[in-house]
Chain A
Amino acid sequence: TQLLEQSPQFLSIQEGENLTVYCNSSSVFSSLQWYRQEPGEGPVLLVTVVTGGEVKKLKRLTFQFGDARKDSSLHITAAQTGDTGLYLCAGARHSGAGSYQLTFGKGTKLSVIP
């Protein structure tokens, strides 16, 4: 089983602060995805990174895929209360018949305090 270690598990910060969430594995993935989940809802995709060393920006969120495609990070600049939620990283690997299996990290529960 390929494991994704996500850290920290919990993060509580003041509005305006910066933060970084890490996702690490000993295995190589075809791609890595970051999802955000609100209470009572399913996860929603934020970004997919595919190429080693790739950096993608989504407004105040910056996602990076490690050179070896084993790890990733999510950096949020000037956090806002609307960023509060559960952030999940997921590594994709081919599972046959044109489908890809996602292995999820255990999530980072972010609370941004006003």
Chain B
Amino acid sequence: DTAVSQTPKYLVTQMGNDKSIKCEQNLGHDTMYWYKQDSKKFLKIMFSYNNKELIINETVPNRFSPKSPDKAHLNLHINSLELGDSAVYFCASSQVVWGASGVHNEQFFGPGTRLTVL
């Protein structure tokens, strides 16, 4: 069973188009994230939702709009795509666990969506 799934795996589109990427997790986690990984493999947080509420919104153009219909889904809609948006986008989920040694927050990542803007 897939824990965190994303669709599509690959997305090739023209500049100026609008596109969406979908993410679903079946782990029962409260928190979901969107990350962008650039060509140099740098992974940067974009958004975080906790129980459908936006928690983290890093410096991301407002062309990017996340939507969480329920805590198992976090979709990413991108308007007016630009060349610089080309990257791999990863969805992730996590659940904070307080153990004897401290807080653990393992994040489970989806397989990524490779977006290419032409």
- Judge whether A114 is part of the interface by a CB distance below 8 angstroms: no
A86-B41, A95-B56 given as contacts; is B48 within 8 A of A42 (CB)? no
Q: Once bound together, how far apart are the Cα atoms of A37 and B101, in whole Å?
A: 26
Residue pair A101, B56 in contact (C-beta under 8 Å) = yes
B74 adjacent to chain A (CB < 8 Å): no
Q: Is B43 a contact of A30 with CB atoms below 8 Å?
A: no
On whether the beta carbons of B53 and A97 are closer than 8 Å, the reply is yes
Interface residues of B in 24-64 (CB under 8 A from A): 30-31, 40-45, 48, 50-51, 53, 55-56
Count of chain A residues with a beta carbon within 8 Å of a chain B beta carbon: 30
Q: A52 to B58: give the CA distance in the assembly, Å.
A: 28
Cross-chain contact B55 with A40 (CB below 8 angstroms): no
- Of A42, A92, A106, most buried by chain B (CB within 10 Å of CB) is A42
B77 beta carbon closer than 8 Å to chain A: no
Give 1 or 0 for each of A31-47: 1 = CB within 8 Å of chain B CB.
10100010011111100
Cβ-defined contact, B107 with A98, below 8 A: no
Q: Are A107 and B41 in touch, CB under 8 angstroms?
A: yes
A79 at interface by CB-CB < 8 Å: no
Determine whether the beta carbon of A42 is less than 8 Å from that of B94: no
Residues of A within 8 A of B (CB): 30-31, 33, 37, 40-45, 48, 50-51, 54, 86, 88, 92, 95-104, 106-107, 109
